[in-house]
Amino acid sequence: MPGFELIDDQERRAVDEVFARGGILFRMGFDDLRAKVFKVREFELAFARKFGAGYAQAVTSGTAALKVALTAIGIKPGDEVVTQSFTFVATVEAILECGAIPVVTEIDRTLNMDPDDLARKITPRTRVIVPVHMLGAAARMDKILRIAGDRGVPVVEDTAQACGGQFRGKPLGTLGVAGTFSFDFGKAMTTGEGGMVVTDQEALFLRTRAYSDHGHESNPNFPRGEDTRSMPGFNYRMMELQGAVGLVQLRKLDEALKRQQENKARIKDALRGIRTISFREFADEAGETGDTLVFFLENPEVASRAAKRLFERGIRFKILPEAMKWHFAGTWDHIFSAVKGYRRKDPGKLWRRSEDLLRSAIAIPIFIKMDEEKINRTAEHLVRVLREP
């Protein structure tokens, strides 16, 4: 599950080192005082290299990463941005922050964007498509990229929940024109708060960098105070202590993925004979991060009963069903009541198929550190309850 499970002395030493070598907490400048320590810059380069991306821009959060990417692409008020009904509320918040109109698709049994519904919901005003790789697993990127390519619409992957995942051998976040990541405290890698935008397009990267730094173009021919600019920006800069922690967490990512994939496989194997459940479908199961085990029960009532019995046995959940409110668009009256095109609609009726799937699902968090006993105990409780849910 989250990178915080692995936080130890290495992160503390990385932070200490920043203080020991000048204590410059700002990501740029102060060259005489910082003994060549540029942790955020180093983190960006290591992150881009790790995932084979041309460029990476660190920002303050995954939500900021989405807004920065959309703004750098040129999203303007009134544009339509398509995303999916099952995501963290942040995806839609970022779209609204750009003044754009969120157009929301149903999900399918991968719990990610339903490509057929995407094809139906694209209009001449669609400017970006944002598939979200939920709970560690890729959206159907082959179909989504084909539909987007046919219409000439760029794809930005919200990879906040699938850092380190792949689709057919390609790192998630690098299949579209840009990918965004989150390093908040619940994510696969954490810097406390933080985010990243990756892209292969230099022009897009330069706009991303400028927008997240008040428009500064970081022109090497001028001191910062006389820096050039060609667009207004904002401040979404990451600080040095986060860069230092991020570098350590990035080094731990492969081991974390491997361990949780193993742990997940063992619990999943224990459930294979159970006929009352069906597992989540995958666009590419080999590429998923293994951070969650999701299965569907016959219908929402059966799922809700099973969840209650599992909870009583000490089993805890990840998002489904315990945090549906923050992850399913059908519950976001507080957002859609003020959005053009939604004002007279009841969000609870707009994504019925998604709601039925989500309320029939149970998601079990898979931890990096799960000992033999915890794995067996979890499997045992699941088997007991699910045999007669």
Ligand X SMILES: *Cc1c(COP(=O)(O)O)cnc(C)c1O
Residues that bind ligand X (CB under 6 A): 61-63, 87-88, 90-91, 132, 158, 160-161, 182, 184, 195
Give the whole-angstrom CA distance, residue 371 versus residue 376. Answer: 9
* Minimum gap (Å) between residue 278 Cβ and ligand X: 24
Cis ω before 321 (30° cut-off from 0): yes
Q: Which is nearer to ligand X, 47 or 88 (CB)?
A: 88
* Minimum gap (Å) between residue 108 Cβ and ligand X: 17
Q: Which is nearer to ligand X, 58 or 90 (CB)?
A: 90
CB atoms within 10 A of CB 96: 17
* Minimum gap (Å) between residue 133 Cβ and ligand X: 8
* Minimum gap (Å) between residue 171 Cβ and ligand X: 17
For residue 45, the one-letter residue type is L
Q: Which is nearer to ligand X, 195 or 246 (CB)?
A: 195
* Minimum gap (Å) between residue 363 Cβ and ligand X: 13
* Minimum gap (Å) between residue 159 Cβ and ligand X: 8
Q: Which is nearer to ligand X, 111 or 364 (CB)?
A: 111
* Minimum gap (Å) between residue 62 Cβ and ligand X: 2
Q: Which is nearer to ligand X, 367 or 382 (CB)?
A: 367
- Tell which residue, 105, 151, 150, 152, has the closest CA to residue 131: 105
* Minimum gap (Å) between residue 229 Cβ and ligand X: 26
Q: Which is nearer to ligand X, 67 or 264 (CB)?
A: 67
* Minimum gap (Å) between residue 291 Cβ and ligand X: 11
Q: Which is nearer to ligand X, 246 or 389 (CB)?
A: 246
Residue nearest to ligand X (CB): 62
Q: Which is nearer to ligand X, 134 or 310 (CB)?
A: 134
Q: Which is nearer to ligand X, 158 or 291 (CB)?
A: 158
Helix/strand/coil (H, E, C) string of the chain? CCHHHHCCHHHHHHHHHHHHCCCCCCCCCCCCCCCCCCHHHHHHHHHHHHHCCCEEEEECCHHHHHHHHHHHHCCCCCCEEEEECECCCHHHHHHHHCCCEEEEECECCCCCECHHHHHHHCCCCEEEECCECHHHCCCCHHHHHHHHHHHCCCEEEECCCCCCCEECCEECCCCCCEEEEECCCCCCCCCCCCEEEEECCHHHHHHHHHHCECCCCCCCCCCHHHCCCCCCCCECCCCHHHHHHHHHHHHHHHHHHHHHHHHHHHHHHHCCCCCCCEECCCCCHHHCCCCEEEEECCCHHHHHHHHHHHHHCCCCCECECCCHHHCEHHHCHHHHCCCCCCCCCCHHHCCHHHHHHHHCEEEEECCCCCCHHHHHHHHHHHHHHHHCC
Give the whole-angstrom CA distance, residue 334 versus residue 342. Answer: 11
